[in-house]
């Protein structure tokens, strides 16, 4: 079995550092003695918890920021730079999450700048793409999102793409395994056209959208999907541990 990647997007949860520490410790316990050849686990807590998370995380679990600034530095109140999160211990950064695109008005152009900032700081971007409406033209929407986000990016070596249909996020209504797979294959085809076959075949593509312990296997054990981006089911240690164990026991 190829190594699977599970990314936990905690979004704006939990509300206190104590709770965050308990959640992290619970997840780490569930991952204890895990075979790292089977699973790469990455946690994405909110910014204020990154330093403490890095201190508590056992080796073998990666840390991601949920976003980075479009700018390297400067007078941008409220922004957090890629280098700051790198220095806080992050290996990855989620970029272009649909909640940022649709609730915060983030554009493909801004996402492109963020990808470049992340790469320049030594972070591995997890680029989220996906359509807002079920049944929309995926070739057009994802094609544009990828072309614009990756404009001027020389290589996909450090980039992971997460296919996240917006209508499936946080709704309890996931895509079908077939739908997720055909979107993942479409993503590979699009990046194959932008880059080359080697990069397309070696790209990690995740599925995200209402993944839980009951459905995770149906998504991630298909050739062409390398893992999952998990939101709601990642903020309860017991639920998330179930997901981890299902992957490890395959």
Residues annotated as catalytic are 97, 164
CB-nearer residue toward ligand PEP: 161 or 211? 211
Question: Token match 């550092």: residue?
Answer: 17
Which one of residues 117, 210, 215, 226 is an interface residue with ligand PEP (CB under 6 A)? 210
Task: Single out the segment in contact with ligand PEP by CB under 6 A; choices: 47-55, 77-85, 182-190, 229-237.
Answer: 229-237
Which one of residues 45, 125, 143, 209 is an interface residue with ligand PEP (CB under 6 A)? 209
Which one of residues 156, 229, 243, 247 is an interface residue with ligand PEP (CB under 6 A)? 229
> Per the annotation, does 212 bind a ligand?
no
Task: Single out the segment in contact with ligand PEP by CB under 6 A; choices: 62-70, 108-116, 144-152, 204-212.
Answer: 204-212
Tell me: does residue 227 bind ligand PEP (CB under 6 A).
no
Which one of residues 24, 27, 211, 220 is an interface residue with ligand PEP (CB under 6 A)? 211
Which one of residues 183, 208, 226, 247 is an interface residue with ligand PEP (CB under 6 A)? 208
- CB of residue 126 to ligand PEP, shortest distance in Å: 10
Which residues of the shown chain bind ligand PEP in the complex (CB under 6 A)? 9, 11, 164, 169-170, 208-211, 229-233
Annotated binding-site residues for substrate read 9-11, 170, 210, 231-232
């Amino acid at each position: 079995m190829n190594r699977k990647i599970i990314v936990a997007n905690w979004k704006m949860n939990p509300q206190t550092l104590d709770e965050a520490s308990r959640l992290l410790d619970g997840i780490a316990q569930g991952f204890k003695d895990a075979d790292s050849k089977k699973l790469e686990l990455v946690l994405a807590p909110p910014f204020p918890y990154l330093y403490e998370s890095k201190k508590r995380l056992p080796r073998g679990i990666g840390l991601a920021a949920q976003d980075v600034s479009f700018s390297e530095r400067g007078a941008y109140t409220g922004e957090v730079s890629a280098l700051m999160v790198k220095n806080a211990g992050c290996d990855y950064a989620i970029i272009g999450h649909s909640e940022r695109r649709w609730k915060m008005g983030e554009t493909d152009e801004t996402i492109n700048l963020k990808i470049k900032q992340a790469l320049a700081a030594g972070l591995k971007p997890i680029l989220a793409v996906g359509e807002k409406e079920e049944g929309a033209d995926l070739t057009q929407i994802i094609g544009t999102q990828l072309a614009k986000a990756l404009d001027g990016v020389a290589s996909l070596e450090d980039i992971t793409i997460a296919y996240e249909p917006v209508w499936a996020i946080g709704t309890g209504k996931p895509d079908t395994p077939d739908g997720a797979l055909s979107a993942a294959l479409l993503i590979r085809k699009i990046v194959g056209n932008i880059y080359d076959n080697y990069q397309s075949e070696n790209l990690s593509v995740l599925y995200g959208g209402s993944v839980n312990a009951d459905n995770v296997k149906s998504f991630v054990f298909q050739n062409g999907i390398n893992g999952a981006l998990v939101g709601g089911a990642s903020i309860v240690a017991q639920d998330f541990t179930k997901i981890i164990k299902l992957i490890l026991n395959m």
